[in-house]
Amino acid sequence: MTALVAFWRKYRRNRAAVAGLAMLVVVLLAAIFGPLVYPTDPFDMVGRPSSPPSARFVLGTDVSGRDMLAGLLHGARVSLMIGILASLGATLFGLIVGAIAGYYGRAVDTILMRCTDFFLTIPSFILAIVIIAIFRPSVATVTLAIAAVSWPQVARLARAEFIAHRDREYVLACRALGMSDFEIITRQILPNALPSLLVVSSLLVATSILTESGLSFLGLSDPNVISWGYMVGVGRTVLRVAWWMPAIPGIAILLTVLCINLVGEGLNEALNPRLQRR
Amino acid sequence: MSALLQVEGLSVRFPTTRGDVAALEDFSFEMREGETVALVGESGSGKSTAALALSRLIPESTGRVISGRVMFEGRDLLALPVHDLREVRGRRIGMIFQDPMMALNPVFTIGWQLAEPLRQHFGLSQRAARDRAVELLGQVAIPAPEQRIDQYPHNLSGGMRQRVMIAMALACRPSLLIADEPTTALDVTVQAQVLSLIKTLKDELGTAVLLITHDLAVVWEIAQRVIVMYAGRKVEEGTAADVFDDPQHPYARELLRAAAFASGGDGRLPEIPGTVPSPFDMPPGCRFAPRCASAREICRAVLPPLKSSAPGHAAACVLVGSAVP
């Protein structure tokens, strides 16, 4: 508990990060409760197509007469969920690969890291498209595809952290106390590596949301759920006559990604011991 | 008394790009239960390597034990399956390290780190392990253990941390405590406290102590027997009294002379001329021969075997037994 308080005290010093966190909480609340408070189906044609924001439709309607506000609220759910799950998946997998490579070193390290390099050399967005093209686009496959292209950077960071810690004397002391490699990796080194991993994985949420938006903009996401990228894609055709249509979901993406980046930055400052001398 | 630990012909090599480095060669010694043995030597003499090699703690990526046996409580630690070896580490053999700053995990409270091996090796509950941890902290003379237990390593001073390390090492009541330069990183005043603590606990618990150090004062303080190492080999072994009063190997003599500089008189620190030979370029004969004032032809050609000068006192020098020039 005291650790949390101390953490908050450090985090609080970065005003932008606090603002980002507040905005992010708003977005999260909108994603969780929005569809309950505003239950209009985002795929229902409820009004005249392409009507500008009005009292009846706060954010207007899209080219098919679907309520933009409903789309925005329901889309927040999908975008955030895919972003968070993909980031979690990528972090978990990257962590396992990086931890094993870093802790054991030598041949294991070489093999795992060359595999990681292989993924890094392919442009991640293209690779994600290929993966989705192979499987049928759905929320699950999109999440997996995004996770599959973003784990390498986590793996590299985790590897670096584990290499930095594996030769520390406390690890030797743990081995002298009879701990197994698994226990040392998960219970001794991991807590030390966690702060930096947390920062990277929070930033990954932002990139994952962007990637998902890009994919659904191209129509490569799940056709049965609405997401922000899909809304931008739909509005793109009428950009010159109804600029608000792609702009509204676009701003939603921009703000959310910005907030997550601010929060990530704040976490970095609060958790990174090298930046704490102030 | 039975032998607790019997090391026979232990050799460790570190492969490097310039060829293998023999960090420890043909090293043998014995320890009885409850005995305190000191491994003495300068940096690079192989003493820490020996300590780590005993319980196979040399990382496989850096070094290899190429031969030897380590019989501990009737089992060869070098041949033991990893699972059994883990039971021996911590539970039967405790270790403390040079730098208590580095040997504690910075992200956990010391109570958590103390309780962890207890829960693991004895299956104690959270509550019981915590109580035992408080008790252990009290045992190593840490004031207010109930409060200290929830603190992090950085809240503690160096001496305190070393006490915590000792408490951790002794938590499972091992029959052997390996202390790798336990006082080197501490202030002189704290050194004395930690040493007397090790001594007290050793007498109380009957733990055998293998003390690795380059500090001869420490050896004199608590060791019963002394093993002097030079360039990866044992050069002399005997009771502390024998080695201190009547060193047989020229290196041991020089070492003692260098340590006893207070009585030197002329204001200059005595030193041993020359340096330890490079591990890539070991002399073929006695490793100390290039620095030895009484070296002869044969010293440079043949590696001298260990020769006994008195019961329980031996040195690896051709001069043993002959009149000292």
**pLDDT, tens digit, for every residue of B130-143?**
998 998 898 888 88
Give the long-range contacts of residues A49-58, CB within 8 A, separation 24 or more. A50/A238, A50/A241, A50/A242, A50/A245, A52/A242, A52/A244, A53/A244
| Res B265: pLDDT | 59
Does the pLDDT value for residue B6 go beyond 80? yes
Closest-CA residue of A relative to B82 is: A180
Q: Which of B48, B88, B107 to mutate to test the interface with A (most CBs of A within 10 A)?
A: B107
Phi, psi of B93 (to 5 degrees): -120, 120
| Res B214: pLDDT | 83
> In b/e form, how buried is each residue of B183-214, taking b as 16+ CB within 10 angstroms?
bebbeeebbebbbebbeebbeeeebbbbbbbb
| Res A24: pLDDT | 92
Handedness of CA B200, B117, B164, B226 (dihedral sign): positive
Mean pLDDT across the stretch A39-43? Answer: 83
| Res B39: pLDDT | 92
Q: Which of A1, A169, A184, A276 to mutate to test the interface with B (most CBs of B within 10 A)?
A: A169
Does the pLDDT value for residue A1 go beyond 80? no
Q: How far is A173 from chain B (nearest CA, A)?
A: 6
B30-88, pLDDT tens digit by residue?
999 889 999 998 887 888 888 888 888 887 767 777 788 899 988 898 888 988 888 88
Among candidate residues B4, B92, B29, the one with its CA nearest the CA of residue B55: B92
Q: Which of A125-139, A187-201, B179-193 has the lowest mean pLDDT?
A: B179-193
Handedness of CA B166, B170, B172, B174 (dihedral sign): positive
Does the pLDDT value for residue A278 go beyond 50? no
Q: Which residue has the higher pLDDT, B158 or B226?
A: B226
Q: Which residue has the higher pLDDT, B63 or A120?
A: A120
Cα–Cα distance for residue pair A225/A209, rounded to 1 Å: 15
Does the pLDDT value for residue A277 go beyond 80? no
A227-239, pLDDT tens digit by residue?
888 888 888 888 8
| Res B325: pLDDT | 44
Mean pLDDT across the stretch B166-172? Answer: 85
CA atoms within 13 A on the CB side of B151: 17
B199 touches B224 (CB < 8 A): no
List residues of A whose CB lies inside 8 A of any B CB: 105-106, 167-170, 172-180, 183, 187-188, 191-192
| Res B262: pLDDT | 53
Share of chain B above pLDDT 90, in %: 10
B182 close contact with A: CB closer than 8 A: no
- Distances in whole angstroms, Cα of residue B57 to Cα of each of A257, B6, B12, B78: 47, 17, 12, 11
Contact A169 B102 (CB under 8 A): yes
B161 close contact with A: CB closer than 8 A: no
Q: Which residue has the higher pLDDT, B160 or A89?
A: A89
Cα–Cα distance for residue pair B156/B106, rounded to 1 Å: 11
Mean pLDDT across the stretch B170-191? Answer: 85
| Res B299: pLDDT | 85
B165 close contact with A: CB closer than 8 A: yes
Q: How far is A73 from chain B (nearest CA, A)?
A: 40
Q: How far is B151 from chain A (nearest CA, A)?
A: 11
**A161 to chain B: which residues are within 8 Å by CB?**
none
| Res B266: pLDDT | 65
Cα–Cα distance for residue pair B240/B219, rounded to 1 Å: 8
| Res A146: pLDDT | 94
Mean pLDDT across the stretch B259-286? Answer: 74
pLDDT band at A275 (very low <50, low <70, confident <90, very high): low
pLDDT band at B264 (very low <50, low <70, confident <90, very high): low
Nearest-by-Cβ selection for A169 from B99, B108, B120: B99
State yes or no: ipTM above 0.85: no
Residue A89, by phi and psi: left (phi above 0), alpha (psi -120 to 50) or beta?
A: alpha
| Res B139: pLDDT | 84
B274-308, pLDDT tens digit by residue?
888 887 888 888 888 888 888 888 888 888 888 88
B87 touches B123 (CB < 8 A): no
Contact B106 A192 (CB under 8 A): yes
| Res B263: pLDDT | 52
| Res A274: pLDDT | 58
Does the pLDDT value for residue B217 go beyond 90? no
Neighbouring-strand partners of residue B24: B12
Share of chain A above pLDDT 70, in %: 97
pLDDT band at B115 (very low <50, low <70, confident <90, very high): confident
**A183 to chain B: which residues are within 8 Å by CB?**
120
> Which token pair is B247?
């060193």
CA-based R_g, chain A, Å: 22
Does the pLDDT value for residue B1 go beyond 80? no
Nearest-by-Cβ selection for B57 from A106, A172, A192: A172
pLDDT band at B309 (very low <50, low <70, confident <90, very high): confident
pLDDT band at B261 (very low <50, low <70, confident <90, very high): low
